[in-house]
Amino acid sequence: MKTLRRWLGPIKRRLMRVVEAKSGIMLHQPVKPGATGVRASAMLALTTKYRQGLALSEGEFLRRTGQGNVLYELFVDGDPVCYGWVGQGGSRVGILHNLKLTVPDRAFYIWDCATLPDHRGRGHFQTLLKGLLECQGASSAAALAAVDTGNTASRKALEKAGFKPMFSYFSLRVGGRVLVSLAIRDGKLMRAQPEFDRVAGNALGAA
């Protein structure tokens, strides 16, 4: 039996690399400027220049900012604890596999957020979200976000911040080739990319 498991292990890992099935939820929230959600000991800062210690290479940082994305970091007592990228209106961002979203005018898209390992479990992501909604609300009327179905912690934080689901989506990729990408909205099954295009065509991102 041990021999069989030893043989099957590499096969299973190889198969998981070849076949990739993922699902997520697209969320939306109207935005109004109001009182900041950033705690007195915390500071939300726009990072415009690359520095050592960021969770990506300088080349990737420049690529993202060149495509209309901006990076926000949350600092507590002077230390970076959490970060999140924001796609501005008109920028085009990847969602999953070959699915893409063009951010509508007067909307922004929150993506690639993370809390540094030593600072998790302290509500920093929630503080980051509230801060982003506050600072972007002055120029935008809607916030968008997408979350993996299995990412329970991020889903709860987004829901607590007021985000509501618009539709769910699923994509299957085999050997680097996407076989199918579907969306479910109001109980109806449809192709996924047109749903993201529908959001892009809505001035407030609330299609």
Identify whether the C-beta of residue 148 lies closer than 8 Å to the C-beta of residue 24. Answer: yes
* Rounded distance between C-alpha atoms, residue 70 and residue 13, angstroms: 36
pLDDT at 5: 59
pLDDT at 4: 46
* Rounded distance between C-alpha atoms, residue 62 and residue 64, angstroms: 5
Per-residue pLDDT of the chain (207 residues; tens, 9 = 90+): 555 456 555 545 555 567 899 999 999 999 876 644 555 557 999 999 999 989 999 999 999 999 999 999 999 988 999 999 999 999 999 999 999 999 998 899 999 999 999 898 888 999 999 999 988 877 788 999 999 999 998 999 999 999 999 999 999 999 889 999 999 999 999 999 999 999 998 755 565
Alpha helices per DSSP H over the chain: 2-18, 58-66, 124-136, 152-160, 192-200
Name the CATH architecture for the domain at 27-165.
3-Layer(aba) Sandwich (3.40)
pLDDT at 201: 87
pLDDT at 13: 56
pLDDT at 176: 84
95 Cβ neighbours under 8 A, 6+ residues apart: 24, 26, 101, 146, 169, 196
Q: What pTM did the predictor assign?
A: 0.85
pLDDT at 47: 95
pLDDT at 24: 97
How is the chain split into domains, by residue range?
Answer: 27-165
pLDDT at 172: 94
